[in-house]
Amino acid sequence: MKFKELLFALVILIIFSFNILEKKPFEFIYPKKNDAKISLSADHFKKFEKEWRGSDYYYYAEKDGFICSVLFYKLNEEEKLSLVEVPKIQFTEKAKEIGKEFPENSPIFAYTYFKNNSNLKKMEENDMSWGEMTDDFMFRKNVINLQGSKISQNHMYGYSMFGNDLFVIVHLSKMNCSETDLREMEGILNSLKKENK
């Protein structure tokens, strides 16, 4: 009888472990362009709040100290010219140098814009970037150490673009991250998929 009870407890534990490890998929769509969609998998969030910010669309969730936001940033005509069309000439040449074709909706445009216009730029330390301008996403991470305290906040970002006028930034952050937390955040970034190119 004890063997059966032990076996039953072990089966329940295994099922429970798989449920804990299972990550929930989330989809994010720009409502005025339903074919502009990204997805990610995470086990820290249940539901994302959504709101319009002018012509931009913003998603936000927080749980277990993890914060995740997704912003679809709609470019106006002036921004399309200055942030995409003019830099495209230089980026196209760089892509040719490495033997790759430069995509119209490269993540380099969103990456460059958000990195240069970060509200936290002056406080960012250990800034690291990865990903190619010919990929679907480019990535960045850094740490903010709050002066006068031992509190640090880790930030990670994913950047993408749809068409020639819609930037996407995925932002993750957490205070005083453990190594496990950092791996979890990197796992979320690694799960990012662009559903329509």
Residue 48 binned pLDDT confidence (cut-offs 50, 70, 90): very high
In a domain, 1, yes or no: no
In a domain, 2, yes or no: no
In a domain, 14, yes or no: no
d(CA 37, CA 97): 31
d(CA 124, CA 139): 15
**Residue 116: which region, alpha, beta or left (left: phi > 0; alpha: psi -120 to 50)?**
alpha
In a domain, 121, yes or no: yes
Two structure tokens written together for 150: 């031992």
Whether 12 and 39 have beta carbons less than 8 Å apart is answered as no
d(CA 192, CA 159): 10
Whether 58 and 71 have beta carbons less than 8 Å apart is answered as yes
In a domain, 17, yes or no: no
In a domain, 94, yes or no: yes
Whether pTM exceeds 0.95? no
153 pLDDT above the threshold of 70: yes
In a domain, 136, yes or no: yes
Two structure tokens written together for 195: 């559903």
- CATH number of the domain residue 184 falls in: 3.40.1000
Domain housing 169? 24-194
pLDDT tens digits, one per residue of 55-94? 999 999 999 899 999 999 999 999 999 999 999 988 888 8
Number of domains in the chain: 1
Q: What is the pLDDT of residue 34?
A: 80
18 pLDDT above the threshold of 50: no
In a domain, 142, yes or no: yes
Q: How far is CA 115 from the centre of its chain?
A: 13
CA neighbours closer than 13 Å in the CB half-sphere of residue 177 = 22
